[in-house]
Copies of this chain bind each other. A is one copy, B any other.
Amino acid sequence: MSKPELAKLGYVALVTPDIEKSLWFFKEVIGLEETEEVDGVHYLRAWGDFGHHSLSIEKGESGYVKHVGWRTKNPKDVLAFKTALEHEGVKVQHVEAGTTRGIGEAIRFQLPSGHSFELYYDVDKPEVAEHRRSVLKNQTYKSWAKGVSPRRFDHVNIHASENIKETYNFLLEQLGFKMREYLVDDDGNTIAGWMSVTPLVHDVAFIAKPSLPTKARLHHLSYWSDDTQDILRAADILKENGIQFIGPGKHGVSQAIYLYVMDPGSGARVELFTGGYLIFEPDWEPIEWTMEERSLSNTYWGDSVQDKELNNITIEAK
């Protein structure tokens, strides 16, 4: 029997202490659409996302991530992952279909780093009300309706202070991610890795940070826009709304254009993202970056990501 596989990143389940502010930020400033609101949980997605949601937001005591959701390639992969993970001694929770609105039968477990992942196959694809529906049959909503208006969900970047090596192994061996680019410290340890199950350079970046407020953190979740001009337009929109950000700039790793902005409700960081390259090569050799090359890999040009207090802000991932 072949190994179970992940197809793609699905969604982030976000908790915010200020639901009004977070909804204003994600819906009006970023411009996400709301699929529905059920029991206080708001399900959001970009105009080009195809599934039920790429972000859920609900009210809580503090800003944190409940879990990150991933779609499997096949229906049977969900339970096959359960079997395989339990075989490795991982504690796996079975989650009834519909526990998260729009998401089918799922499993949840923690990475060695402490981050919670959810795997599922079934996803609702709800109809869009006619006045918001795109005139294009291959597009979900009308584009450019409000705010920054990115096309689709892109990736997550998570930080941890413990079990770094174990977590890389887990992501690569248990979950089937491929390492695309990575940063090594002077002792040759991988301290940052960009990994994907798709041709994107990363669906997830996993970064080691020796000291963190809690052991598992979200550095950012990222939405994709088609053009660099969209990112510069976003900078204008954010300034007009009095929201802090870092960027624009271009990463060496992934070659992507970035702008990092904080949700003023939850503290969650969003990376507005475009450009970069795709990896179709089946024999891709991961790109290694050393500590001396670190500033180039972080910031090829533009407003530097490195050594900024603002860039150290993360939120807890439970």
Contact = CB atoms under 8 A, between A and B. Distances in A.
Interface of A: 2, 7-8, 48, 50-51, 71-74, 121, 134-139, 142-144, 146, 151-152, 181, 198-199, 201, 226-230, 232-233, 235-240, 242, 245, 247-250, 252-255, 257, 274-275, 277-278, 280-282, 287-289, 293, 296, 300-304
Contacts of A143: 236-237, 240
B255 A139 contact: yes
A199 to B, nearest CB: 6
Q: Which 7 A-B pairs have the closest CB atoms?
A: A229-B229, A8-B280, A142-B240, A7-B282, A235-B301, A303-B303, A138-B287
Contacts of A232: 228, 250, 257
30 contacts: A7-B281, A50-B281, A71-B280, A71-B281, A71-B282, A74-B282, A121-B282, A136-B300, A137-B252, A138-B253, A138-B255, A139-B255, A143-B240, A144-B237, A144-B240, A146-B146, A152-B277, A152-B278, A198-B280, A226-B275, A227-B228, A227-B275, A228-B228, A235-B250, A235-B301, A248-B248, A248-B302, A301-B303, A303-B303, A303-B304
A19 to B, nearest CB: 21
Nearest to A147: B144
Contacts of A277: 48, 138-139, 151-152
A271 to B, nearest CB: 16
Contacts of A275: 226-227
B8 A281 contact: yes
A301 B142 CA distance: 15
Contacts of A248: 248, 301-302
A1 to B, nearest CB: 11
Nearest to A148: B144
A242 to B, nearest CB: 7
Nearest to A10: B280
Contacts of A137: 252, 287-289, 293
A136, A139, A227, A293, most chain B CB atoms within 10 A: A136
A73 B254 CA distance: 22
Contacts of A300: 136, 239
Contact of A301 (B181, B239, B253, B257): B239
Contacts of A136: 252, 255, 296, 300
Contacts of A301: 235-236, 238-239, 245, 248, 303
Contacts of A121: 282
Contacts of A254: 138
Contacts of A74: 282
A242 B135 contact: yes
Contacts of A146: 146
A308 B71 CA distance: 43
A7 B283 CA distance: 10
A72 B283 CA distance: 10
Contacts of A72: 282
Nearest to A254: B138
A242 B281 CA distance: 29
